[in-house]
Amino acid sequence: MNHVIEMLNIRKEFPGIVANDDITLQVREGEIHAILGENGAGKSTLMSILFGLYHADRGTIKVRGNEVTIHNPNDANDLGIGMVHQHFQLVQNFTVTENIILGKEGSFFLDRKGASNRIAALSAQYGLNIDPDMIIEDITVGMQQRVEILKMLYRDANILIFDEPTAVLTPQEIEDLMQIMRNLVKEGKSIILITHKLAEIKEVADRCSVIRRGRLVGVVDVADTSVAAMASMMVGRPVSFKVEKKIAQPGRVILEVRELNVLNNKRLLGVKNFSLSVKAGEIVGIAGVDGNGQSELIEAITGLRGIESGSVIVEGNDITHADVRRRNEIGIGHIPEDRQKRGLVMNSSVSDNVAIKEFYHPPFSKRGILSADYLDEYAQQVIERFDVRSGEGIHSLAGKLSGGNQQKLIVGREIAGTSELLIAVQPTRGLDVGAIEYIHSQLVDHRDKGYAVLLVSFELDEIFNLSDRIAVMFSGELVDVVKTSETNEDEVGLMMAGITKKEGGR
Amino acid sequence: MKKTMYRPRSGNAFLVAVSAVILGLIGGAVLMASIGSNPFAGFYYLFRGGLMNIERVGNTLATATTLMLVGLSVAFAFKTGLFNIGASGQMLIGGLCATLVAHKIFLPRPLFLVVLVASALIGGALWGVIPGFLKARFNVHEVVATIMMNWIAYWSIYYFVPAFLKGPSLETESASIALSQSLRAPWLTKLFSGSYINYGFFIAIACVIIIRFVLDKTTLGFGLKAVGSNRWCAEYAGIKVNRNVIISMMIAGGLAGLAGLTFYTGYSRNIQIGVMPAQGFDGIAVALLGASNPLGVLFSSLFFGILQSGKGFMNAMTSIPPEIADSIIAVIIYFTATSVLFQRFWDRIAKNRRSRRPDQSEEA
Amino acid sequence: MWSTLSSIFPYAIGYTIPLLITALGGLYCERSGVTNLGLEGLMLVGYFACAITIRLLEATMAAHSVMLLTFGLVVGVVAGALFSLLHAFASINLKADQVISGTAINMLAGAITVYLARLISGSGNVRIGMGIIRKNIPLLSKIPIIGPLFFSQTYWTTWVVLVIWALSWLLLYKTSFGLRLRACGEHPSAVASAGVNVHRMRYFGVIMSGALAGLGGAVILITYSGEFHGTVAGLGFLSIAALIFGQWKPLGILGATFFFGSATTIANVSQVIPSLSVVPPVFFKVFPYVATLVALVLFSKKSAAPKASGQPF
């Protein structure tokens, strides 16, 4: 058996955690080998070691049977190993060519023309369809990913590592990528695919190594293994994909969005003529690939972005032009997409963070002076009720909490603040299964109390698990709104790519 | 230009400050030795110059007064996420307003003092609000904006003073204000044997107390600190970021204006043209050394006051150039900026005494 | 009118050149990803180093003035480069706050240069006896219109600086080194994963800013100043403003620094020119600073600042 890559008994430790604990990975020549694991399992660390960004504490690496040491990405490149990162390593205002030749220009004086020609040829050979002279900030996310692939091919990579490549792609682009991977294998490349998406592994991978909490659980033949089996290897116990919940009893309309038009950062319409309503006692989930206007829509509803035309009405109040504080006072809660940027002040204590929306009025303060006792009491209640664990209780700095506890803190703050309308955007991003289950149950709980919940998620299973109704967003527009019980993932997937029932879907 | 503010944890801030001071003094010693002087003699006379007798103590306190107020100004701005390099210009304008009042307004003493203080406060606040507004509304970086404001103030004084406040003798300074129109008080001056000490000292202490209260106990301070730490979260929480930036610069400018008041109508009794007040930059050192904490500012301004006040005596006794004081201060700033090294050092010592918390896992 | 213009033009160029070379230094630094507010101090260091070099040697080398002046320039460059290492170490290795580090540089330079100057001259000022004599360039100064404006009464340092400027443009935009340097200021992790040492690139950027700012200070001394007096009167900060004004591009800073140079010249001569002397001189003095504020406001929307500048990597 030809193993093109072997990583044997790899161990890597960071302060406080063992990221890789005696992991062995063996990739055969010409296969697509998936590495499956949850967020934080250690997959990215392992691949960063292979690519020379980290050094293993213990263990050996062999390429085609020869033991090697990889000190930096240059060494990895020389061995024919290339990596398409999860977060693209592209300079936004350079051209495609300039990004690809960066570090491998070939001569002191730049030869842009020659390089462009070579890149165009490579692009044609592998069916990548890239114009070398375009500027990165002007091309789509899918195209940017293909530029990353071209970067590897330009350096004659034979072993290609893909790190969570489909997170930012539409379903159609995912199909394209799968096909490109098959093409690459046909041309003699070997592929390592890091992912937590079971469906994609089933679609394109030959074998799969499952990693859990830094350890290798097992290596399976994908064709012979069910999704459920792989999932339970990944998580360590049988996984039910369903959340227990009662049937929704929707009441009056809480949120009404009417014909909303919102500009995005490029001064183009990011949200187009969007209308939606959310009733008390229901969860409406907005499905769609990241970048189709969800961020702009939520910012418009929460007051963080201006509105071109249309209106937003909550409990009968027209808040279209109201400031954020007014919206908070009416009872809009917001679990933001980026918990470290928007959700918390990392340098402040837990109790300051709990109070950040309410500090300016009684009983949190009186006539401009903070009521320290009340602040502490209230914060204590919140962290107890929502199981937020921290080293020094309410006096811990928010930045010292783990991701899961930070998110629980935010969820606790918003729910305890009694939100008539709770908006949750990617509420379980980057969290382990325990935290995910907890937050899901809190959201359902909130709905059962009779409040309205608007959920935005880029994970279709989360949408299906939680939502009573699903609204699909594509290119800033509402494609359709359907009852969860009356649809399935394939149908919604098509809608996410812009294809409605009317237009030749099923 | 973007910046990230680095804030040491309060427990370690004191240790970091002490480390920086020690290194600064070592730097000073090196400089003294490099020109052939005896560092011990140098420091001896430096500190004696600041503290030797009651008059010198008075001068040290008077020097510290201006530094304290500028330090508060810069520290307050830092806490709210802004770098106020414009304290010099704000001092000049505040001082100019106060000098004008001192020349033109004659009222019963208590009322006069109120008007005097208010004029400096308003002048400085105005000079601070302009870059604050430009930052809030147009995202103009406050460092460049405040430096421009410094030079606009400098040249404005340069032409205004000879034109409207000319002294009888020199072209380069304003007419002196009468003692009764200044912040000097006969009983204070007598208490300190004729030093420059003036009511400004009490104003400065009062400001330390007030600013500390505002930052720690009020909703205004809470909002300003939130904006300074993470303006995105502040915005998300409904805090009006732009308004807070403007208010912050207004307060910072006002404090620097008060510094001008104490310097131009307290410590001295006229304004010189063609001089950019060095205290504007020393105030940055005071704020950094004091970790942007009002109490820290109080102590570091006293320390720097000793240095600045004693350097003349040291120069007279040892011929070491008085710029040694500025050099020591500059070295201290450099080490405060690079305090990361000390941070890690003291953090590691602290960590070795505590056990690790179980729920602080990082996601790999 | 024409004679006024042609007589003040050389002065405008004289004021522009130190600004230009310092702003160019700032460009290297910012483009590599490091914010440098210490240009004022670095200029001062070059100014001082050149002054004492010439002062100490001018007695013995009076006959070889061009050689001594050149040597003085070189010393200024080296002094600036060495001093900038403080900022480089703090910003790159220690990941300190770059704004504070830059401010520390200014304060250190301000204090130490005067401290050392006192030892040499007792007063903190260092006067030198020689300087560059302005010359007309033989053939070119006879060309109608542009001759008298650009090629008469010039300092040879002007041409040195312009050559450096042109070579920098070539380096930054036509070579692989320049591509990598600029990438460090936009997306350092992309550069790192391409196998390039980002820290080394940033060191280069900072050292260049020290060297060129030092050159700027030295040029001031041997062209229009003639004396070190403890300050460069805000020119370092004006270079930063020119950098922003010029949107971090070589051509842009050429225009921006010329604008400032002309404004300063007009301010200085306003009292002597009848048509201008009606305006109170304060307006001319204040004009460059107000203009900068206006420009900052106008450019606030479409800032082309290097995206990763100021963020430690």
C-alpha angle with apex B247: B243 to B253, nearest 5 degrees? 145
The reply to whether A29 and A56 lie within a common domain is yes
CATH number of B60-303: 1.10.3470
Q: β-strands A283-287, A452-457: how paired?
A: parallel
Does residue A360 fall inside a structural domain? Answer: no
**3-state SS class at A29:** coil
pLDDT in tens, B119-131: 999 999 999 999 9
Long-range contact list for C284-290, CB < 8 A, 24+ apart? C285/B155, C285/B158, C285/B159, C286/B151, C286/B152, C286/B155, C286/B156, C287/C263, C288/C238, C288/C260, C288/C263, C288/C264, C289/B148, C289/B149, C289/B151, C289/B152, C290/B148, C290/B152
Q: Is the pLDDT of residue C24 over 70?
A: yes
Inform me whether the pLDDT recorded for A490 exceeds 80. Answer: no
Give tens-digit pLDDT for A169-214. 776 788 889 999 999 999 899 999 998 777 788 889 999 999 888 8
Residue C273 covered by a domain? yes
Does the beta-carbon distance from A53 to C187 stay under 8 Å?
Answer: no
Whether the per-residue pLDDT at B4 is higher than 80: the answer is no
Q: Cα A247–A250–A256 angle (5° rounding)?
A: 140
For the residues A142-152, what does the mean pLDDT come to?
A: 91
Which of A328-332, A358-362, C48-52, C292-296 is predicted least confidently? Answer: C292-296
Evaluate whether residue C66 is within a structural domain: yes
Tell me, yes or no, whether C308 lies in a domain.
no
**A498 belongs to a structural domain:** yes
Structural domain contains residue A394:
no
Residue where a domain terminates, one of A179, A209, A235 = A235
**In this structure, are A128 and A189 located in the same domain?**
yes
Q: Which residues of C lie inside 8 Å of A (Cβ-Cβ)? A: 174-177, 179-180, 183, 186-187, 189-196, 307
What is the distance, to the nearest Å, from the Cα of residue B126 to the centroid of all Cα atoms in its chain?
Answer: 18
Domain around A481: 253-331+418-503
Query: Contacts of residue C90 in chain B, CB cutoff 8 Å?
Result: 334, 337-338
| C240–B contact, CB cutoff 8 A | yes
Contact A89 C187 (CB under 8 A): yes
Is the CB of C297 less than 8 angstroms away from the CB of B156? Answer: no
The pTM assigned to this predicted structure is 0.84
Question: CA A196, CA A233: separation in Å to the nearest integer?
Answer: 12
Q: How does the average pLDDT of chain B come out, rounded?
A: 87
Mutate to test the interface with A, among C193, C199, C249, C307 (most CBs of A within 10 A): C193
CA distances from A432 to A231, A339, C229, C279 (A): 14, 15, 64, 71
CATH assignment at residue A302: 3.40.50.300
- A148/A287 same-domain check: no
- A392-421 pLDDT, tens digit each: 889 989 988 888 889 999 999 999 987 799
Residue A467, in any domain of the structure: yes
Number of domains present in the structure of chain C = 1
Q: Within an 8 Å CB–CB cutoff, is residue A72 touching chain C?
A: yes
Most confident option among A164-178, B71-85, C6-20: B71-85
Domain hosting residue C9, numbered range: 2-299
Place A305 in a pLDDT band, splitting at 50, 70 and 90: very high
Best to test chain B binding among A329, A347, A401 (most B CBs inside 10 Å): A347
Contact assignment for C111 to B327 by CB distance below 8 Å: yes
List pLDDT tens digits, range C90-121: 999 888 889 889 988 999 999 999 988 888 77
Assembly ipTM = 0.85
Q: Which residues of chain B are within 8 Å of residue C99 when distances are taken between CB atoms?
A: 1, 3, 83, 143
CATH number at residue C97: 1.10.3470
Are both A308 and A219 inside the same structural domain?
no
How many domains are there within chain A? 2
Nearest to C194 among A73, A106, A107 (CB): A73
Pick from C110, C244, C282: CB nearest B155: C282
Instruction: Count the neighbouring beta carbons within 10 Å of the beta carbon of residue A321.
Output: 11
Residue A14 falls inside a structural domain: yes
Interface of chain B toward chain A, CB-CB under 8 angstroms: 7, 217-220, 222-223, 225-226, 229-230, 232-240, 356-357, 359-364
* pLDDT higher than 60, residue A241: no
A178 and A322 housed in the same domain: no
Q: A224 and A298: one domain?
A: no
Handedness of CA B320, B322, B327, B333 (dihedral sign): positive
From B219, B239, B360, residue closest to A402, measured CB to CB: B360
- C-alpha to C-alpha distance for A473 and A459, rounded to whole angstroms: 13
